[in-house]
Amino acid sequence: MTCKEERMDKMAWVVFLSVSMALFGSSGCEKKAEEPIQTIPEQQWKVHDPDRPQPPVVNPGPLRAPVPAPSDAVILFEGTDLLQWEDSKGQVARWKVENGYMEVIKDTGSILTKRAFGDCQLHIEWAAPVPATGEGQDRGNSGVFLMDKYEVQVLDCYNNTTYVDGMTAAIYGQYPPLVNACLPPGEWQTYDIIFSRPRFDQEGNMIQPAHMTVFHNGILAHDNRILTGPTAHKQRPPHASHPDRLPLSLQEHGNPVRYRNVWIRELE
């Protein structure tokens, strides 16, 4: 091979390698560029942002009969007493019980389960007060708090609007529901919640955030949402280390919201 032919041969290999890298990328031994981190949707909006779009309204269909508890469920309320509950001071829960439901009594405080839970499947049925009074957050306000920290909002949003991360079935202050599946006040509605608690290491550092899936009246409202931390008013606090099991709580917000048929399955 002449010197001229040798130079041409080397140039051909350079061209071949350049084209190959352009078409197929570098070799698998080289580190691939990291994909950009996707923005968490709720970070695009301020907490309780009034400009955040309202979700579409969906008719969930006719009323359903109470959903019976499966054999492995813990019955938290079956319509006769509040023996499974206490107030925030560890005293007797003072909400009213009659006709198979419990009703929030103003100024008696929120109630908590005596038993603590972590990962769980929760079923709870509730009804907004009749007649409907007030507007926005002042109409049928209460809340279901997993681990007494992570709230699914209870509110009458049937022909009633408010900030969407605080409407019915919202994960309060973080995510609005995918749809508004509210029934009229006085009619029994259901939440079915799958909750995965956050995980922390021995030093208290978070290794996995809380996740939540919610069905409202049988309609998907949240699909395995990643929580940013505990829910709160006008803020989004980060996750902070806490016990693996904590009580479920129901909020007293001054409105006579009713609850019935409350049961929970431990999934951990």
Judge whether residue 21 has pLDDT over 50. Answer: no
* DSSP annotation string for 133-189: -SSGGGSS-EEEEETTTEEEEE---TT----GGGSTT-BTTTB--SSB-PPPTTS-E
Q: Among all chains, which residue has been given the structure tokens 């939540």?
A: 212
Beta bridge partners of 247: 116
Query: Which pLDDT value is given to residue 12?
Result: 46
Task: Read off the pLDDT band of 199 (50, 70, 90).
Answer: very high
CA atoms of 123 and 52, how far apart (whole Å): 29
- Determine the average pLDDT of the residues in 111-138: 97
Report the C-alpha gap between 256 and 254 in whole angstroms.
Answer: 7
The vertex-187 CA angle with 182 and 192, nearest 5°, equals: 60
pLDDT, residue 228, reads: 96
Give the per-residue pLDDT at 43: 62
CATH of the domain spanning 3-266, picked from 2.40.50.140, 2.60.120.560, 2.60.120.10, 3.90.79.10: 2.60.120.560
The DSSP code for 38 is P
Q: What is the pLDDT of residue 41?
A: 53
Mean pLDDT is lowest, of 27-36, 84-93, 161-170, for 27-36
**pLDDT value at residue 31:** 39
Residue boundaries of the structural domains of the chain: 3-266
Residue showing tokens 């009619």? 187
What percent of the chain clears pLDDT 90, i.e. is strictly above it? 81
pLDDT of the residue at 252: 98
pLDDT value, residue 67: 87
Q: What is the pLDDT of residue 24?
A: 41
Query: What pLDDT, on the 0 to 100 scale, is given for residue 8?
Result: 46
Provide mean pLDDT across the span 212-223.
98
Inform me whether the pLDDT recorded for 39 exceeds 70: no
Q: Is the pTM of this model over 0.75?
A: yes
34, pLDDT greater than 70:
no
Answer for the pair 230, 150: CB distance below 8 angstroms, yes or no: yes
Question: From CA 114, how far away is CA 262, in angstroms rounded?
Answer: 14
Among 209, 246, 233, 44, residue whose Cα is nearest residue 143: 233
CB atoms under 10 Å from CB of 105, counted, come to 14
Query: What is the percentage of the chain residues whose pLDDT exceeds 70?
Result: 84
Which of the four pLDDT bands, split at 50, 70 and 90, describes residue 253? very high
d(CA 125, CA 217): 9
pLDDT at 154 over 60: yes
* Distance of alpha carbon 61 from alpha carbon 23, whole angstroms: 54
| Local structure of residue 54 (DSSP, 8 states) | P
Q: What is the pLDDT of residues 70-115, one digit of tens each?
A: 999 999 999 999 999 999 999 999 999 999 999 999 999 999 999 9
Using DSSP, state whether 43 is helix, strand or coil: helix
